[in-house]
Amino acid sequence: MSHGTTAVRTHANVSEVIGARSVVALREAAARFEGVLDVQIVALTSVPMTGAQGAGNRKALDDAVEAGAHLIGGCPSLDPDGAGLISHAIAVASDAGLGVDLHVDETLDPSMLMLRELARQVMSTGFGGLVAAGHCVTLGMQSAEVQAAVSAEVAEAGIAVFALPQTNLFLQGRDDPTATPRGITAVSALQDAGALVAAGADNVQDPFNLVGRSDALETAGLMVMAGHQSPERSFEMVSNNARIAMGLAPVNFEVGDPADFLAIDAPSVRGAIADAPMSRVVYRSGRVVARSEQTSTVYRGVEA
């Protein structure tokens, strides 16, 4: 919160082994910040979700819904039946009135393209809830023509795509020492097609991302440098675009907008991303909920 975050979407592992206890724990933690921090919990179901071997994981997902998860998650590219996982996730979400947020195509293998399958299933079922796809790495490995075609389907389906630069820059491309791919989705192609593209952090100081400070400006900076986006567009991806993808109203400082915003000591959006100063004031519903102050002192050499 001290960095400016007033809404979080987090993925809670759910499986036959651990059940839905992570969802229960996150619901309890979120209750302590009610009215200050919005927390959306995705039930990230383990694989397999499909077939006879997935029965226990499907039961855990049902328990997670009962425990209060807000969205259905999963990793179709890791399941033996990725299309079946997507179908089950949409069905459960539809029955429960929830959204869907999947880990999609987190690999450099261009033959894997579950994003297109997700778009087609959303359209064929007429699913009307929130749908988000995180990572979508392999879209960036396709030809420009395929990128454009798939992006058009994503836009038509109303799917929000989350670029996750910290994790994918860290994980992808380790086996490609020459012209190492960046592992970031085809942001520009998606935007050109009219799809909503947001950016997030995914992992923070864990085995999948050894660093990170839970600061949206860090993510924005990586979208500038590694995603080839302007500072203004990168900031939009971690602010209003992320809010819209979460089903929250954007903040444009207009009458009727939520009074949730960050005041930061910087001359411009570019300056805020470049310097990421810690002198910040965070507002939620018009009141201050966090304040940080940064001081710097430079000592001149003492004359003899």
**For residue range 133-178, what is the model confidence (pLDDT) as tens digits?**
999 999 999 999 999 999 999 999 999 999 999 999 999 999 999 9
Residue 245 to residue 8: CA distance in whole angstroms: 11
The secondary structure of residue 174, as a DSSP letter, is: T
Asked if 131 and 155 touch (Cβ cutoff 8 Å), the reply is no
Give pLDDT tens digits for 180-239. Answer: 999 999 999 999 999 999 999 999 999 999 999 999 999 999 999 999 999 999 999 999
Q: Single out the residue of 118, 122, 152 nearest to residue 136, CA to CA.
A: 118
Q: Which domains does the chain possess?
A: 7-292 (3.20.20.140)
Three-class SS of residue 43?
strand
Kindly state the average pLDDT of the residues 71-84: 98
Structure token digits, residue 141: 């490995």
Q: Give the other-Cβ count within 10 Å of 288's Cβ.
A: 10
pLDDT band at 303 (very low <50, low <70, confident <90, very high): low
The secondary structure of residue 300, as a DSSP letter, is: P
Strand partners, 134: 103, 162
Asked if 139 and 110 touch (Cβ cutoff 8 Å), the reply is no
Give pLDDT tens digits for 35-55. Answer: 999 999 999 999 999 999 999
Q: Which helix (H) or strand (E) holds 272?
A: helix 269-275
pLDDT of 301: 73
Q: In what order do the strands lie in the sheet with 287-292?
A: 261-264, 280-284, 287-292
Q: Give the other-Cβ count within 10 Å of 78's Cβ.
A: 17
Instruction: Compute the 3-state secondary structure of the chain and give helix, strand, coil in percent, each to the nearest 5.
Output: 40, 20, 40
Axis crossing angle, helix 114-125 with helix 82-96, rounded to the nearest 10: 40
Angle at 127 between CA 123 and CA 132, to 5 degrees: 85
Structure token digits, residue 34: 């009610």
Q: Single out the residue of 198, 55, 194 nearest to residue 135, CA to CA.
A: 198
Asked if 240 and 251 touch (Cβ cutoff 8 Å), the reply is yes
Residue 261 to residue 227: CA distance in whole angstroms: 25
Give pLDDT tens digits for 9-27. Answer: 999 999 999 999 999 999 9
Asked if 9 and 42 touch (Cβ cutoff 8 Å), the reply is yes
Give pLDDT tens digits for 87-119. Answer: 999 999 999 999 999 999 999 999 999 999 999
Residue 296 to residue 249: CA distance in whole angstroms: 37
pLDDT of 300: 83
CA dihedral 8, 9, 10, 11 (to 10 degrees): 180
Q: What pTM, to 2 d.p., does this model score? A: 0.95
